[in-house]
Structure 1
Amino acid sequence: MTGREFKDLTFHQFAMIANAFASPKRLELIDILSQGGRDVDTLAHETNMNFANTSRHLQILKNAKIVTSRKEGVRVVYALANDEVVKCWRSLQNLSEKSASEIRETARLFFEERTALEPISPPELWDKLKKDDVTLIDVRPRTEYLSGHIPNAISMPLKELKEKMNELSAVKDIVAYCRGPYCVLAAEAAKILSQNGFNVVILKEDVNSWRAKGLPVEA
């Protein structure tokens, strides 16, 4: 193999992986799968795609070895291939935030419409949890909560929030979290709770970012 052939081959592989990331819907699939494995029907529902399109995007990710699949009865369950995929996805978000001011501004406007309070940081939240000063709610689907969650978090999926609000203390501050800085679930939860008289802030980090900071995760 010549030096030219070596470079052509390796850079072709790099391009395959980059191409797999080059789709808004595939990035959304990666974002959801960063919380744990999901079957195709669930992923189709979460991304507002039909089954065929979801399967097509997943196959592209699988060909690039970004995801793996396994059979569970009649269902096909997909998962991220390894932790490096999550790191790459977070790095892409960070690069995009630094390169495109539109992303920062859009996110700022979206979250400010839903809560006027500043997001809480992981160290500050962990300190408050140890002192039992706040109520932490995980507003992701319960399957994601069971895959891994922050200690003391209460599973309260967004679609069940209005029914379960009366279980929350009106005295303690509430912290809501979901899948990370571009997940809308916690922001929507904050809006609903604020409208009902609760004092609520958002944790923008997800379980993976929490763990990466050396903080504990339960499953």
Structure 2
Amino acid sequence: MLEDRPFKSAVYEQWARLGQALAHPRRVELLDLLCQGPMTVETLARRAELSVGSTSQHLARLRAARLVETERAGTHVRYRLAEPGMLNLLLSLRDLARRRYAEVDAAVAAFLDGRPVGEPVDPAGLEARLAAGDAILIDVRPADEYAAGHLPGAWSVPLEQLHQAIARLPRDRTVVAYCRGPYCVLAVHAEEALRQAGFRAARLSVGPADFRRTGQPLETAPREEA
């Protein structure tokens, strides 16, 4: 009925605000980074390979849409996801994009083409290997992301420190690396480096955010090195 139209338009306009805020790949990338934990604008800019100014503009748009919030940590201001539902929304969008757009898998295949890596290990496969004592798990994200939440039993080996840590890694077990999720390249580079150094190596198919979504516990602790 015509008298209902203003009400419906008002509601759907608010739904559309979400889509408008997400309608830029860089903003989606920033939100994906924030799934790892709170970060300053400088940290986000560095990890997304953006200028601080551009990052600030994207964050302002996300904050205006109430998708991110800020918190003080000493003299620093950190951004965080506005609520746990944001993580579920982002992972659902990620999974939907893969199901609906063949271009996602094509981009992955093109990136991996010619690289000395194998198929990723899923969580069930990882659990079986760990239970059998046939693997160790390393987190190759930056140390602050590890401290914000990591898989139980994982060692912190940031990718840029992997070569120094290689001498301390056991060679009688498969080294399974993980990072932020299926489209994070850090674990791919770690697997490459480990295989080239003569290790049995693999990478996990998911990241800590996937464990959070399913209610599986993460550990939070100061940095632990291999």
Q: Which residue of 2 aligns with 1:29?
A: 30
SS in 2 for 1:119: coil
Q: Which residue of 2 aligns with 1:53?
A: 54
Q: In structure 2, what is the Cα distance between the partners aligned to 1:204 and 1:24?
A: 22
1:78-89 residue pairs with structure 2 within 5 A?
78-89=79-90
Taking a change above 3 Å as real, the CA distance of residues 203 and 112 of structure 1, as seen in their structure-2 partners, is: farther
Q: In structure 2, what is the Cα distance between the partners aligned to 1:41 and 1:60?
A: 17
Q: Which residue of 2 aligns with 1:93?
A: 94
- The Cα shift of 1:112 comes to 4.8
Supply the AA of the counterpart residue of 1:78: Y
Q: Which residue of 1 aligns with 2:178?
A: 177
Q: In structure 2, what is the Cα distance between the partners aligned to 1:84 and 1:175?
A: 29
Q: Which residue of 1 aligns with 2:223?
A: none
CA distances 1:126-145 after superposition (whole Å, capped 9, x unpaired) = 23223332010000011110
- The Cα shift of 1:193 comes to 1.0
SS in 1 for 2:182: coil
CA distances 1:35-76 after superposition (whole Å, capped 9, x unpaired) = 000011101111111111111100111111111112334322
Q: In structure 2, what is the Cα distance between the partners aligned to 1:79 and 1:183?
A: 19
CA contact (8 A) 1:40 1:75 kept: no
Q: In structure 1, what is the Cα distance between the partners aligned to 2:115 and 2:211?
A: 23
Q: Which residue of 2 aligns with 1:42?
A: 43
Supply the AA of the counterpart residue of 1:129: L
Q: In structure 1, what is the Cα distance between the partners aligned to 2:78 and 2:203?
A: 30
1:170-209 residue pairs with structure 2 within 5 A?
170-209=171-210
- The Cα shift of 1:169 comes to 0.8
1:129-140 residue pairs with structure 2 within 5 A?
129-140=130-141
Stretch moving more, 119-128 or 50-59: 119-128
1:108-127 residue pairs with structure 2 within 5 A?
108-127=109-128
CA contact (8 A) 1:173 1:200 kept: yes
Supply the AA of the counterpart residue of 1:8: S
Stretch moving more, 133-142 or 8-17: 8-17
Q: In structure 1, what is the Cα distance between the partners aligned to 2:49 and 2:213?
A: 30
SS in 2 for 1:169: coil
> TM (normalized to structure 1)?
0.94
Work out the percentage of aligned pairs sharing the same amino acid.
Answer: 38
SS in 2 for 1:36: coil
- Stretches of structure 1 that go unaligned for 5 or more consecutive residues are none
- The Cα shift of 1:214 comes to 4.7
CA RMSD of aligned residues (A): 1.7
Q: In structure 1, what is the Cα distance between the partners aligned to 2:109 and 2:77?
A: 37
Q: In structure 1, what is the Cα distance between the partners aligned to 2:133 and 2:177?
A: 15
CA contact (8 A) 1:115 1:187 kept: no
Supply the AA of the counterpart residue of 1:210: F
Q: In structure 1, what is the Cα distance between the partners aligned to 2:6 and 2:156?
A: 53
